[in-house]
Amino acid sequence: MEETIFDIEMSQPGRPTGQYYSTEQNQLRLARILYPEIVLPFDIGFLPNTITSQGDPLQVILLGNASHPPKTQVPARILGGVQTNGTPPFLLAVSVADDNFKAVTSYTDLSDPQRTELSRYFQPSKDGAITWLDTKTIKPIIKESARNFRLINKAGFQPASQPTWKPVDSHHHITGYDETEHYTPAEYTFFQLPYHIQHYVSEHLADDERILYALYRPPMRSLKHKSWLGREKINAGVLILTTQRLIQLVELVPLGDSGVRYGFNAKIGPLERLISFKCDQIGEEVMLLQTSWEASKGVEILEWEAPLYSRSALLEMTEILAKFLPQNINPKTLRRAVISHPTDLPALVDPASNNPQLENSLNQHFSEILHTLLKPDEIAFAWALWPSWYENTGFARVLIVTDNRALVISESELKNDSKQEYPLTQIATLEYAGSIIHSHICFNIIEKETSRSIQLNFPYPAEGAFHKCFEAMRRCMAVLPLCDNDK
């Protein structure tokens, strides 16, 4: 039988191993002993230069009596594979240098106790389905994964991908080793969040966005904001740093014993607009993070208070945040959050209407207006409808987000303010709430010495369309040059 041999790279030893480095005397010196988080009867590695449909290299189970430190290169003979519930398979392999496995060329050569032990790790429940794959089945999978890797490395190729900030199935608990192996530190951060905040992340973070750090804050008293009653109470929240933005997420109403989610208020700053930050202790029990965000005509500051005991975690987050400062990275290289040009805008929808003829009439009316408003080469990315019944105005309005501005246009030709325009270059940060209690998009128009607050309230049933407008605004803000030197 023809052997299938590849060089694999170890990523996780199953048993304690020694980590060594070379000395000038050409000797190996023990640096430390590595103890695995989970003791396993095998090591975990991966096959370099391969990419599966989930965006990861092919994982390899290396059988043997000895464990190897991470990054060890091991020539290995592929015996087959193990697959559970249709996920990408784990390759089964043994080291070519291990004489104890010299006669083992297929998973069928493994003893019954060995296969039973492997099954225990990959089939944690009776309902789980496990499939053993021979080398004939595995070879096409390896070739396809190697082909994916080559395509991804070609300029301009963008593979279809799943969200990278959480596991593919985030609603199920970890039940076995085959699931936990797929989790990254960012995915563990997701599971450490309170469950109702996991729901927000699942609903509102983009598929191409990854959590870099998240810091939970319990309810507390503010040192910055006081009233005649004393220090104001701040609701629980989470400070989330992603690859695209900094999010200050605060509960609108405490969760309470009922477990009902009333929604969140989210203040965000696109990382391309970050210019500075400082983190200081105020008083005896509060840390204050102040971040400065740039617009074309000024700067806006966001503040986040946290308990003193979270100081070390907050400073750890700022170390990551510092990598996005202009002096540390060219902001132009960050401009990757732009969304692709839409072929057509979706139809405007009145969530309370059961009159298709009226909706068609509104769509035709505002589509005609839109074509007259757009400048040459200007692209509309999203729009949303305020129905005529909302706030008893008697006329419909539409929010339109283009690649350089936000527009509010009215159905009424009698109103003097039938068109309002907000240049995205004059906006540094955004605020969003989509809740049955209150729903709005909020931002400040920063002019030379003044800041004008704009709050666009919208009906909660139309939250889906307005959230798309919010997403389009923050993505377009990230790619817009603020001055001629940025172009």
> What integer is the mean pLDDT of 53-71?
85
Exposure string for 414-429, b = 16+ CB within 10 A, e = fewer: eeeeeeeebebbbbbb
pTM over 0.85: no
Give 138 or 228, the one with higher predicted confidence.
Answer: 138
What's the Rg (C-alpha) of the chain? Answer: 28
Please give the pLDDT value at position 233.
86
Structure token pair of residue 24? 């000038």
* 178 has a pLDDT exceeding 60: no
> What integer is the mean pLDDT of 316-324?
92
Please give the pLDDT value at position 279.
94
Most trustworthy range by pLDDT among 253-267, 302-316, 330-344: 302-316
The string of pLDDT tens digits covering residues 256-292 is 545 556 788 999 999 989 999 999 999 888 999 999 9
> What integer is the mean pLDDT of 230-247?
88
The string of pLDDT tens digits covering residues 407-466 is 999 876 545 557 899 999 999 999 999 888 889 999 999 887 788 999 999 998 888 999
One DSSP character per residue, 30-75 reads EEEEE--SS--SEEEEEETT---TTSSPEEEEEESSS---TT-EEE
**Percent above pLDDT 70 for the chain:** 80
The string of pLDDT tens digits covering residues 321-339 is 998 998 887 544 444 445 6
Question: Cβ-count burial of 242 within 10 angstroms (0-12 exposed, 13-18 middle, 19+ buried)?
Answer: buried
Q: Across all residues in the chain, what is the average pLDDT?
A: 81
Contacts of 118 (CB under 8 A, 6+ apart): 42, 61, 82, 92, 110
Q: For the chain, what are the domain ranges? A: 5-152, 182-334, 356-486
Write out the CATH class of domain 356-486. Answer: mainly beta
**Percent above pLDDT 90 for the chain:** 30
CB 476 within 8 A of CB 424: yes
* 469 has a pLDDT exceeding 80: yes
Please give the pLDDT value at position 256.
58
End-to-end distance of the chain based on CA atoms, in angstroms? 61
Put residue 230 in one of left, alpha, beta given phi > 0 → left and psi -120 to 50 → alpha: left
d(CA 296, CA 446): 8
Give 450 or 98, the one with higher predicted confidence.
Answer: 98
Give 480 or 267, the one with higher predicted confidence.
Answer: 267
* 123 has a pLDDT exceeding 70: no
CB 429 within 8 A of CB 453: no
* 342 has a pLDDT exceeding 50: yes
CB 233 within 8 A of CB 225: no
The string of pLDDT tens digits covering residues 179-219 is 333 445 555 566 667 766 777 777 778 877 888 888 888 88
> What integer is the mean pLDDT of 308-332?
84
Query: Are both 5-152 and 182-334 of the same fold?
Result: no
The string of pLDDT tens digits covering residues 131-177 is 889 999 999 899 988 888 887 666 444 444 444 444 443 333 333 33
Please give the pLDDT value at position 335.
46
Give 375 or 193, the one with higher predicted confidence.
Answer: 375
The string of pLDDT tens digits covering residues 380-393 is 999 999 998 888 88
Please give the pLDDT value at position 432.
95
d(CA 94, CA 84): 21
* CATH code assigned to 5-152: 3.90.80.10
Please give the pLDDT value at position 177.
36
Question: HSE-up of 336 (CA within 13 Å, CB side)?
Answer: 12
- Domain 182-334 in CATH 3.40.50.300: no
CB 214 within 8 A of CB 236: no
Give 33 or 332, the one with higher predicted confidence.
Answer: 33
Question: HSE-up of 247 (CA within 13 Å, CB side)?
Answer: 31
